[in-house]
Amino acid sequence: MTNLADVSDMLRAIRRETRLSQEELARRAGVARTTVARMETLAKNDMSVSVLVRLLEAAGYDLKVVAHGHARTLEDILAEQRMPDQNS
């Protein structure tokens, strides 16, 4: 993702993948349906990170930051380090 339009497209794709209407996703996240519509179309360049996180969580997703070119998050690496050595 390189810009807000990519984030907007991702949000719309996740909502469709989870077969949620804008209304249902909005209800689960505790926001207005118009908020979902604005974020999916970037009306007025409206993209609230806090609302994005709520919408993603309502669809069963998390927002995670990863280093460019890496698939694992810092949380993934730390969790692996905390696991007992499986080869012992």
Domain limits for position 12: 4-63
Percent share of the chain, pLDDT over 70: 88
Look at the chain and report how many structural domains it folds into: 1
Domain annotation covers residue 78: no
Q: How confident is the model at residue 25 (pLDDT cuts 50, 70, 90)?
A: very high
Closest CA relative to residue 25, chosen from 55, 46, 45: 55
Closest CA relative to residue 46, chosen from 67, 63, 32: 32
d(CA 57, CA 65): 15
Please tell me the predicted confidence (pLDDT) of residue 78.
75
Average of per-residue pLDDT across 65-71: 71
* H helix or E strand, kind and range, residue 51: helix 49-58
Domain annotation covers residue 13: yes
Domain annotation covers residue 59: yes
Please tell me the predicted confidence (pLDDT) of residue 77.
74
What CATH number should be reported for the domain holding residue 57?
1.10.260.40
Please say if the pLDDT value at position 87 is more than 70: no
